[in-house]
Amino acid sequence: MSSKSSAMDKEAERDVTIRRVKEEDIPKLVELYLKAYKGLEEYAYTHPKDVKSYMEWLVRRDPEGFLVAETGGKPVGFIGADANWFSRREGKLVGAVHEIVVDPEYRSRGIGKALMRSALDYFKKRGRDTAELWVGDKNTRAINFYKKLGFREEGRYNYWIRMKRGL
């Protein structure tokens, strides 16, 4: 890791807190999601009602793994991590990252990485040995981000790429 990125990680650790999502956070997370997916609409829900249903689904899937990053009381990113996911490709329960977003104004300062680290720690705590996710094949920013965090491409379905890593 370069000294620059480790300085950014320290900045994220100092200013950003990560905690479980509460029901009352959802309206703000819907706004954050819609803002974060501008330009990537082909891979996202675009109607606020659909995004809200999706957030509620994330809570139901795994309330312990749905985490929000805040700075100054403001949500700036979240991750929908699910330790109860049965992966058909793996034939076992894995840690699935269904969603990760960071507010465009707060990107490239280690917040996404801090959220992912919390999710991977949580998966390990739950006894999972593999993490998996699906990403749109033209979403190069996210693909590069996942590669830096140790994920590797492992097949695809239509325009979705499956990525995984050991824990």
Ligand X SMILES: CC(C)(COP(=O)(O)OP(=O)(O)OC[C@H]1O[C@@H](n2cnc3c(N)ncnc32)[C@H](O)[C@@H]1OP(=O)(O)O)[C@@H](O)C(=O)NCCC(=O)NCCS
Residues that bind ligand X (CB under 6 A): 5, 36-37, 40, 100-102, 107-113, 135, 139, 141-142, 144-145, 148
Nearer to ligand X, 24 or 105 (CB): 105
Q: How far apart are CA 33 and CA 2, in angstroms?
A: 30
CB of 98 to ligand X, least distance (A): 9
CB of 48 to ligand X, least distance (A): 17
**Sheet strands (E) in 4-137:** 17-20, 66-71, 74-87, 92-102, 130-136
C-alpha closest to that of 131 among 100, 77, 87, 91: 87
Minimal CB distance to ligand X: which residue? Answer: 112
Nearer to ligand X, 21 or 139 (CB): 139
- Torsion, Cα 40 51 120 140, to 10 degrees, reads 0
CB of 141 to ligand X, least distance (A): 4
Nearer to ligand X, 54 or 127 (CB): 54
CB of 26 to ligand X, least distance (A): 18
Exposed e or buried b per residue across 46-60, where buried means at least 16 C-beta atoms within 10 angstroms of its C-beta: eeeeebbebbeebbe
Nearer to ligand X, 80 or 83 (CB): 80
Nearer to ligand X, 46 or 127 (CB): 46
Q: What is the number of other CB atoms lying within 10 angstroms of the CB of residue 152?
A: 11
CB of 117 to ligand X, least distance (A): 9
